[in-house]
Each structure stands twice: as structure tokens, then as C-alpha cells.
Amino acid sequence: MNSNVSLSERISQREEANREELIERLARCMPEDGVRDVLKGLRLSRISTPTDAVFGLAEPAFCTIAQGRKVTSLGGKEYPYDPYSYLLATVELPVVSRVLEATKEKPYLGFRLSLDPTVVGSVMMEIGQALLPRQGAQKALEVSPLDSTLLDGVLRLVRLLESPLEARILYPSVSREIVYRLLMGEQSHRMHQMTALGGHTHRISQAVEKICREFKDPLRVEDVARQIGMSVSGFHHHFKAVTAMSPLQFQKNLRLQEARRLMLDEELDAASAGYRVGYDDASYFNREYKSLFGVPPKRDIEALRETVGVGADV
């Protein structure tokens, strides 16, 4: 009995040592606030103060935190996570994120690994998990506990960053191991949805891709539903189950976030940015913008230019 307790204690001590090492290594990789794509599909972030809401477009990814706390919101539902949990996103969609806990002494340190459905499908076949369609639509975001095996994979991936040669050779295998751990964990069913053919989530993903490509054009919901083989009512139901938004709300968020980017990065005025994303009426665009971001376009952009934030990388 004592030996079991001792083993448990040793495992716990090792996990805490791994967390401390992860903090140290990420802090070395990210000596200043900002976001860096350090390898293809691997993004690190650091921020030293809590942030206001940051709107962005999330992509399928595994996200965790070495230090600090963050919350990502989708359709009004919040998904908080910290160093003892991870967030899994399986569909590209607009989200809102806030860093809740960060200081100069203990900055927020984030880790995001993009998930390629082709790689997920390949690992599934290697371990004998069938690529079968699943009919139930799955939520696009979920948070789960970060167990010791996933933490170990994250740490070994970050260790590779100190050796370009090791990173080039070993990064694919370690990232595949993380995919394997996710497939064997409690979010396995959601990983399956990334590759399932014919299931509702797969078809909604096709609709999301179409709306993302053509967000500037008028959205005819009945046409999208027909193209993916669903009734209009079924499309509405399953789209909201996955994205927590209606198709029109989803398109509106995409349009307004792109308009915000155009004003911030390309210095367009509100009327021009609104027109570029599909709004012919400047007054209507201003009302929609304020409804989403809480303030009129000009005031919002002025405030954003005075702050340095971390994007909403889920």
C-alpha cells in the first residue's frame, strides 16, 4: 500500500517538474509578448496582462497553456482552460478569447498545435480505428483535463525547438504522438468527426468552408443546405449544434471580423471596410459592428491601436 502511495507521489512530482520545465522553455522561446509560428502548425504566444475580448477565426487545433488562464467563447458559451486542461477545436469558426490571468512576473504562455484531418485519419488507420461516418453532430469546441501523457508530448515537442535538426527530424513523429493521445482520450469521438465521411459534422464542416470562402456574397441558406444534402431545417439544427450559431450569424461574424482587420491593418475607413465585406449600407454596417464589438468602428480601432493583444487562437 505504501509503495502505491509512493508511486503516486512520484508521478505527481514528475508532472509538476514537467510543468515547470515547460514554463521555463516557453519563456525562453518567447522572451517578449507576442505570437510566433515556430514550426509549421505550431504557434506559441506570450502576454503579460489580462486582455479584453479578442475576436478571431479559430482552426482545428489542440491548445493548452503552460502558465496563466484563458477563456474562449463560442455562441455565448464559455470554455475556460488552464495548465491542467486543454481545448480541442475541430472546425474552423469565429470565436472570442480573453486571457484571464497574466502578469509581467508570470506571463500567460500558450501552445497551439494545428490538427490536419489527413494526419488524424492516417493515425486512426495505423491504430485500427475505422473511418466510419457518425451521424450525431459534435460541438466544435470542448475542454478536457490534460493528462500526464499529453503533457509529456507537449514538453518533448517544445524541447525540439532548441535544436533545428532535431525539430526537422522528430517534429512529425512527436506531433503524431499527440494526435494518437487525443484519439485514445476522452475527446476521441470529436477527433473522429474530423475525418468522418457522410456524418453531420463532416457536412457542416463543408458548409463552414463554403461560407468562409464566400462570406462577402449574399447567403442563401437553402442553396447551401441542398449542396450538402440536408433539409433547411436539418441544416439549421446541425449547424447550430456544431458552431453554436445560425448560418447567418456565422457569416455576419466573419464579415465584421474581416472589416475590423481591414480597418486595423490596411487603414480603411468604416464605410470602405464595410463595403469590402458585403455591406452596401454604411449605417447598417455601423450598427452591426457595434452590436458585435460593443463600440462603433472608429472608437474600436483607435482603442485596438493603443494595445498589443494576443489573437484569438482558441
In the chain, the largest separation of any two C-alpha atoms, in whole Å, equals: 73
Question: What phi and psi, each to the nearest 5 degrees, are found at residue 97?
Answer: -130, 150
CA pair distance 39, 103, nearest whole angstrom: 26
CA pair distance 50, 99, nearest whole angstrom: 5
Q: How many CA atoms lie within 13 A of 93 on its CB side?
A: 30
Give the residue ranges of DSSP H helices in 41-113: none
Give the model's pLDDT for residue 1: 47
When the candidates are 2.40.50.140, 3.30.360.10, 3.40.50.300, 1.10.10.60, the CATH number that belongs to 249-305 is 1.10.10.60
With beta carbons less than 8 A apart as the criterion, state whether 16 and 273 touch. no
CA pair distance 82, 68, nearest whole angstrom: 6
* C-alpha distance from residue 75 to each of 57, 91, 265, 298 (Å): 13, 14, 26, 25
- Kindly report the CATH number that applies to the domain delimited by 2-193: 2.60.120.810
Residue 35 pairs with which residues in a beta bridge? 45
Give the model's pLDDT for residue 232: 92
Nearest to 100 by CA among 67, 59, 141: 67
Strand, coil or helix: what is 28? helix
**How does strand 77-81 pair with strand 93-101?**
unpaired
Give the model's pLDDT for residue 243: 81
The residues, ordered by sequence, that sit 6+ positions from 29 with a Cβ below 8 Å of its Cβ are: 36, 38, 44, 158, 161
Which stretches of the chain score pLDDT less than 50? Answer: 1, 133, 135, 308-310
Look up residue 214 and give its amino acid: E
With beta carbons less than 8 A apart as the criterion, state whether 35 and 313 touch. yes
Going across the sheet that includes 61-67, the strands are 34-39, 42-47, 108-114, 61-67, 85-89, 141-145
